[in-house]
A and B are shown apart, each in its own frame.
Chain A
């Protein structure tokens, strides 16, 4: 069992927390998330052109790059995290160009050495991810790292098998057709789409985009295996700087309590 499969095998839904690497005191921020109950960490690799992100994560990317964050720094944050937290799954999330700059093989090997469990690459769709020298998925799988793919409301039934083919770890269901941090989808739509995906796959399904509050997270946790929160945490990093860990803990604790107990309330 990998760290990801172990986590998602637990009877309670998982809280997946995203922050951008190099935006503030990354180690302290990551520790705060874990201590407050985050089950999976998504660490964002900063990129100059985060096309799929809304203003909050765009700003975090620019703050991080402005502070001089390099790919080597991101890998070091991962390595140090793995040493401090041997059991907590760690996923790198980002865009193709920084990941394939030195070749997919280089990146997969470096990520594996850093103890990374999964990689989400926003802009390499399955159509480009199998036979080219820049295909990331095959390199990741060869190094025991889960290529985690995204499905969206526009991913129709005809296309879903292609998205699932080669996906590992969990499937990230993007609940709104849009950018990160904006509006939230209706819970009915999320429930129907998660059910649709689960009919075609045994992979756990985590739902994200637009999830900000414990109430929203709890509602999603009732129908999905995991809930991803990003922009709300990233905004805290931006607003509080060095004082962010305490504030991150506050929000993450509330989110974790809501997510972890969502199905108990449901059953009661």
Chain B
């Protein structure tokens, strides 16, 4: 395929810069490691055997391709909403990319398969990872069990409390889960601890970063592994309805599921895209996790990107009902896509996400994770404003089994 001159799909440059974002902001001890990782990743990219093994595992172990699903009752409900909101005859068709049906229940496994194959190719014998909601931790523990490698998962002590089922899953899978108590004891602190482990164990350890952030080549590599989502969705759309969707919607913490869906469509000018951040208790205060809409550029965890920070550059603790979105940064490619104007970004609150969560349970018989529940909430706002013949495709990136305790508590139900 020829790449158009003004392509949005050619980032990053050879130093890992997405425009003014990204890069490799790590301590000197790690620099030779991330340079080595990039070299090995390039070799793997050029090796058909690597791609073949990745594809084979995605098909037979993960269960790909994931279905593309038209949501008839949600669509109908949103059309009634369109009628009542003064847009009679409006209401886009809502389709889902069903990545919650993957093995381990989220998109995270796609990336973990890719990275553990790379780790083994590099001769690494020990795997570490950070996790927020626990989905990436479970996915990492899963691939470690599958390939027989020891696994250490760093998880904020707060998240250990709010995601107990996933902690137990990781332990069942043979991983050691280390609760991190420093800072706010959530995802960013787990990532700090992962980096500290890595820097002290550089000779044998591979760090499987769970989102499209961190030092180059992680943002590019994670995006590429997750792009299977958008590649499948694009082919499935063309095959099922004979055209591309009008709008893609995905939730964003670090942003890997959104990039996975968006990236293969970036050079399709007719396809609009909407990334949904977590507005927590609202963007007007500091109790949110919307780095793009409520943050500013800075340097954290190996890359330059939008961050939640104060005037002195101290990182502030965000808040979201969803542990997976509760991160004060965002992948650098999203920062670039925002500034380039190619992707629009919005944010929805905890309460709106809870409504989206329940709406999908009630209309489609699907219990979504709280992360994509944010995307559903955004869909309920935007789909009614669109014409009936238009198509919204949302990445349903995780299932909600892990969240039923949080949701029950919020709804005042005792389990």
Chain A residues close to B by CB (< 8 Å): 47-54, 58, 62, 65, 70-71, 95-101, 122-125, 127-128, 132-134, 149-156, 159, 163, 174, 176-179, 182
Contact = CB atoms under 8 A, between A and B. Distances in A.
Contact of B309 (A50, A97, A124, A176): A97
5 contacts: A48-B314, A49-B188, A49-B300, A96-B299, A128-B24
Nearest to B216: A127
B27 A123 contact: yes
A155 B31 CA distance: 8
Contacts of B196: 51-54, 179
Contacts of B200: 176-179, 182
Contacts of A96: 25, 299
B29 A97 contact: no
Interface string B22-42: 011111111111000000000
Nearest to A209: B29
Contact of B199 (A47, A127, A132, A179): A179
Contact of B202 (A54, A100, A154): A154
A47 B183 CA distance: 11
A97 B15 CA distance: 20
A152 B29 contact: yes
B304 interface: yes
Given A52-B199, A97-B309, A125 B28 contact: yes
The 4 A-B pairs at the shortest CB distance, nearest first, are namely: A101-B313, A178-B200, A98-B313, A97-B313
B25 A124 contact: yes
A48 B298 CA distance: 13
A99 B200 CA distance: 25
B28 A151 contact: yes
B20 A132 contact: yes
B192 interface: yes
B183 A48 contact: yes
Contact of B26 (A101, A125, A177): A125
Contacts of B23: 127-128, 132
B199 A97 contact: no
B365 to A, nearest CB: 42
Given A49-B300, A96-B299, A97-B299, A71 B312 contact: yes
A51 B313 contact: no
Contacts of B28: 125, 149-152, 154-155, 163, 174
B222 to A, nearest CB: 19
B195 interface: yes
B298 A101 contact: yes
Interface of B: 15, 20, 23-33, 182-183, 188-189, 192, 195-196, 199-200, 202-203, 298-302, 304, 307, 309, 311-316
B24 A127 contact: yes
Nearest to B31: A125
A132 to B, nearest CB: 7
A95 B25 CA distance: 10
Contacts of B25: 96, 123-125, 128
B312 A101 contact: yes
A151 B378 CA distance: 48
Nearest to B26: A123
A70 B312 contact: yes
Name which of B299, B300, B312 has the most chain A CB atoms within 10 A of its CB: B312
Name which of B25, B196, B302 has the most chain A CB atoms within 10 A of its CB: B25
A100 B23 CA distance: 15
Nearest to A182: B200
B313 A127 contact: no
A194 B189 CA distance: 34
B315 A122 contact: no
Nearest to B296: A101
Given A127-B23, A132-B23, A152-B29, 4 more contacts: A97-B315, A100-B313, A125-B25, A133-B20
Nearest to A101: B313
A51 B195 contact: yes
Contact of B27 (A49, A52, A100, A176): A52
Contacts of A54: 196
B404 to A, nearest CB: 32
Contacts of B20: 132-133
A48 B29 contact: no
A134 B182 contact: no
A159 B27 contact: no
A238 B196 CA distance: 22
Contacts of B31: 125, 127, 154-155, 159
B24 A48 contact: no
A51 B192 contact: yes
B22 to A, nearest CB: 10
A149 B28 CA distance: 9
A98 B314 CA distance: 6
A30 B304 CA distance: 33
Contacts of A47: 313-314
A62 B182 CA distance: 9
Contact of A174 (B29, B300, B315): B29
A122 to B, nearest CB: 5
A97 B315 CA distance: 9
A133 B312 CA distance: 18
Nearest to A180: B196
Name which of A51, A70, A155, A159 has the most chain B CB atoms within 10 A of its CB: A51
A47 B304 CA distance: 16
Contacts of A151: 28
A23 to B, nearest CB: 15
Nearest to B184: A48
Nearest to A128: B23
B314 A51 contact: no
Contacts of A97: 298-300, 307, 309, 313-315
